Structure 1
């Protein structure tokens, strides 16, 4: 390598009066033009690489947030028969809106297409036990996390089979379509486990499928199951958790990537709320403490 490098010797250009001056001027002008073009193309400091959106900056006048959620995910979001949404996440969004004087428009949405609805602008936020994960982060951006949970494999209480026996039973395991339990079922099947997936519209429906015999197990999450069974001791006696699946996960509020102003305001309110006595009161109210 040393011999090779020693063969390359810099030879200064021979001075040729006006010809060399012309060349240097041409190079200088070319550099200036390229610099100007690059400077124009690169976003100015503080600007966003994404296209501008509804909440990229603070809007003028009244702020209206279209809030998308799962209509049947207790205790986080539930649509009552009279059309009123309730739940932990509903209270959370209402408190954030109250802090800033925002108006909330509630919009229940099919969970399997809710991310697309956010991308398309049909809704502005998702706060409904939305798991912060890598796949979703490629499309939408999240607030700071506010709750953690684990996925669980649940069976009927009289079932004596092991974790692996259930996953290799060639029987149905129920999940909520579009949820992280749905993703887990696909991942397990791809890994070689032998069962069939029964996709339903909610965790509640998946649990009902287990109880009525349409499924031998359900993949659910502790954030739903714990509070749900706490409210119904008779139901709790009919099922049991065989074990956890994977590592803990976290919930966060989802926004469009370009809606930086909205995300910043949500994060500010979330951190303030989580560091106040009101947070523990909210957790206790919905059985999440």
Structure 2
């Protein structure tokens, strides 16, 4: 079983050390664990059965909770974040996100093909000029496909994903980033990134906007706009990218009482609603004769398309 997420650790700590967390983190109204002393509370919390981000039941020993508290007290949220190699899953020239975008752009060529393999997809990416062979070797492509589960979903699994849907609006938002067109920016060309939140039940676009960078600050900006427009969702479902796993997003969701969950590792296809919206954007919006002279112009056209055509 994988290590508990930062969000789950913060939930446990908010029960165990209410006064400390409230003062230092400003989490707002937090439930108190029974017990007169800190030691009594921590032992009572150790008996609680928790549900992690994947829906699995978890219990933590009082020693583990004390360790989290010590690290949080001395290092803040950074102290309870999982230790992950900074270069894990990265290449020098092509990021995993760019590779997924490249695959999505060529898959339509294989819709009528009964069978195809990773080599066929790689060759098509190179032929279309989406990524050059110098920047992406075939062995690197195969390794990324294996590590991130790209092109591995079966038809049966896809049907199961399509059947899944929340019943009510704001039960669940799906969020993700799409690499968009190149725009003029400070005298050069730079690829814009579309960050979007979509409501799982209604398919309403809570908010979508293009940015220069897929950063945490960009994500916080769009989340703020989405919250103003649609209110607070019960759950937010995102991938494991650095901005979506950031402590800023973790703390915001904890303060709002919104459950933050991440897609299983190597299972990017599980965000089916937002991925299908991105396909619609590529086919129906990016194919238009767009004004790409600035980021503002691109966002104005995108907002108009979402409100009038989507």
Higher relative contact order (CA 8 A, sep 6+): 1
Q: TM-score, normalised by structure 2?
A: 0.25
| Rg comparison, structure with higher value | 1
Name the one with the larger helix percent. 2
